[in-house]
Amino acid sequence: MPWTPNLSVGIEEIDEQHKMWFEKAEKLFEAGKAHQAKEYIGELLSFLDEYTKKHFADEEKYMLSINYPEYAAQKVA
């Protein structure tokens, strides 16, 4: 599934991270379909794992910076 503008949250840094995540996820999907080397697929999975952790940490920092009222609920989810 490609990233599209209707997925935008209106926060440039977060939107750019979403675009990158979708781009790498698409590469992973295509690599699997093409039966590419396990090492390459492993690299993509590792990237997505680390990038996802960083992204969620960045989202949490942003929510705290704007005193987002639903921060606690988001943290649990």
* Confidence bin at 5 (pLDDT 50/70/90): very high
- State residue 59's pLDDT score: 93
pLDDT tens profile 31-57:
999 999 999 999 999 999 999 999 999
Residue 72's nearest CA partner among 9, 58, 64, 54 is 64
What three-state secondary structure class fits 60? helix
Kindly report the pTM of this predicted structure: 0.83
